[in-house]
Amino acid sequence: MTRTTSAAPTAHAFVGLRELLRMAHQGEDLRPLAEQLIEHLAANPSDAYALMDLSLILQMTGKRPLAMAMQAEALQVRRLFQAPAAPGVRPRLRLLALMVPGDLMANAPLECLLHGSDIALDMLYLPPDQPLPDALPDHDVLIVAAGESDRTRALLDALREALAGWPRPVLNAPERVLQLSRDRAAQLLSPLPGVSMPPTRRAPRDVLGAIARGEAEVAAHLGAGGFPILVRPLDSHAGRDLAKLDTPAALAAYLSAHDDEEFFISCFVDYRNADGLFRKYRVVMLEGRTYVCHVGISDHWMIHYLNAGMTDSADKRAEEADIMQRFDETFAVRHRDALERIQACLGLDYFGLDCAETPGGDLLIFEADTCMVVHDLDPADVFPYKQPQMRKVFAAFRTLLLNAATDSQRARGAGDDARESIPGGTPAR
């Protein structure tokens, strides 16, 4: 990108993740905004907010390498980005989110959860290959928004030590987030009564090659099961390069098409209902309660809400609406004990589950994660039942923050300054 400097730089008004997601979700053409940003950056090359918005647009339009380059440029200018409370609203508290550079699945979607609220959000990006800052911005509550991955493990380990004894509430403690790798989560959750989570293991390429050639058995690596199996590269999300493989020959073909050196492998569970359809729930857990965010219904085992045909099927939407309306008296009751055990086991303040129900009635867990996208962006004229449900989720998240801040203030003493003695003060931009 060729740029010239300007004698009088002008600031770009940050659009941010939630609004750009809304535009993309509703089919708006993001190219005009991208062109405006490129023109703006030609005159204002150090506008980090414009660089970050351009990075988000490039991600949403499938230009990931360029998007990551724009994000890296933004983070060279500044690491702290601010999303204020709703216009005209006095902030009730300031939330500091510790983020990591990466794509849309790298961090918890806090801008979506806090849209239109009275919470001011500061997002501090911590590159995994750089030392932690000596100081953090003033805040009332801190949340570890960075998700678990091979790339973030060292950072989360460093945060575990740095945040020990922190003088403000810390939500989603880093040592808890570290438990969410697919293999570790399966080890923790599969033994719980009422929970079904298939064995999941990391598999080097040579191990899968031996299975594909018939020189090794699936069960020898997983400890159970056989074909069909699910295979995906490490740190892949949203079904990227996920495949159900029924034979060794299919595994061999998969390996020839993917050059990764390590994969996750797990047993496939056929979770279709008696009508032949699969139903996948996305729920979030907050302060011991479970909230449903969407239910994808499809005739294919790999369900993504956007490709499940929900927009095109009035019957599917009617079923989802009924599930949402009666969730607290049906699904949440059927799996209450299992969900309570999962919450106690993981010990996270906020996280999501992609899950289903087995034919035998257990709660089938596909994934536990703090970075699942939850939003209120579906058109209200097509999905009128979703706005009230998502308002419940957002209100519960706000209450989580307020309760954390209130409990902390009580512990420190009612007269203490809410932003007193944050170690080191505010870092450089």
CATH of the domain at 55: 1.25.40
Write down the pLDDT at residue 223: 83
Does 1 score more than 80 pLDDT?
A: no
H/E element holding 97? Answer: strand 93-99
Given pLDDT bands bounded at 50, 70 and 90, which one contains residue 129?
confident
Write down the pLDDT at residue 238: 64
> Contact, 229 vs 267, CB < 8 A?
yes
pLDDT digits (tens, 9 = 90+) for 160-179: 999 999 999 999 999 999 99
- Scan for tokens 């957002």, then name that residue: 394
CA dihedral 139, 425, 148, 81 (to 10 degrees): 70
Write down the pLDDT at residue 412: 67
Helix (H, G, I), strand (E, B), or coil: what is residue 253?
Answer: helix
Q: Is residue 213 part of a domain?
A: yes
Q: Is residue 236 part of a domain?
A: yes
Instruction: Return mean pLDDT, the chain.
Output: 91
Does 3 score more than 50 pLDDT?
A: no
Q: Is residue 346 part of a domain?
A: no
What is the strand order of the sheet 243-245 is part of?
Answer: 200-204, 262-267, 229-233, 243-245
Spatial CB neighbours of 197, under 8 Å, sequence gap ≥ 6? 185, 186, 189, 190, 364, 365
Instruction: List the beta strands (DSSP E) in 211-343.
Output: 229-233, 243-245, 262-267, 278-286, 289-298
User: Of the given ranges (67-71, 229-233, 247-251, 410-414), which has the lowest mean pLDDT?
Assistant: 410-414
Of 78, 111, 130, which closes a domain? 78
Write down the pLDDT at residue 304: 87
Q: Is residue 241 part of a domain?
A: yes
Given pLDDT bands bounded at 50, 70 and 90, which one contains residue 306?
confident
Spatial CB neighbours of 378, under 8 Å, sequence gap ≥ 6? 25, 386
User: Of the given ranges (296-310, 335-349, 407-421), which has the lowest mean pLDDT?
Assistant: 407-421
Write down the pLDDT at residue 429: 59
Mean pLDDT of 281-303: 96
Mean pLDDT of 46-67: 96
Q: Which two tokens stand for residue 38?
A: 């490129």
Q: Is residue 101 part of a domain?
A: no
Does 418 score more than 80 pLDDT?
A: no
Given pLDDT bands bounded at 50, 70 and 90, which one contains residue 419?
very low
Residue 2 sits in which domain range? 1-78
Write down the pLDDT at residue 241: 84
Of 249, 267, 285, which closes a domain? 267
Q: Percent of the chain at pLDDT above 90?
A: 83
**CA 252 to chain CA mean position, Å:** 31
Global confidence as pTM = 0.91
Write down the pLDDT at residue 296: 97
Residue 136, CA atoms < 13 Å, CB-side half-sphere: 30
- Looking at the DSSP bridge assignments, the partners of residue 95 are 121, 141
What is the strand order of the sheet 289-298 is part of?
Answer: 195-196, 363-369, 350-357, 278-286, 289-298
Of 247, 267, 287, which closes a domain? 267
- The CATH code of the domain that includes 205 is 3.30.1490.20
- Scan for tokens 């390069």, then name that residue: 241
Write down the pLDDT at residue 130: 87
User: Of the given ranges (9-18, 234-243, 363-372), which has the lowest mean pLDDT?
Assistant: 234-243
Count of structural domains, the chain: 2
Parallel/antiparallel/unpaired status of strands 363-369 and 278-286: unpaired
H/E element holding 127? Answer: none
Distance (Å, whole) CA 180 – CA 387? 29
Q: Is residue 402 part of a domain?
A: no
Q: Is residue 168 part of a domain?
A: no
Q: Is residue 106 part of a domain?
A: no
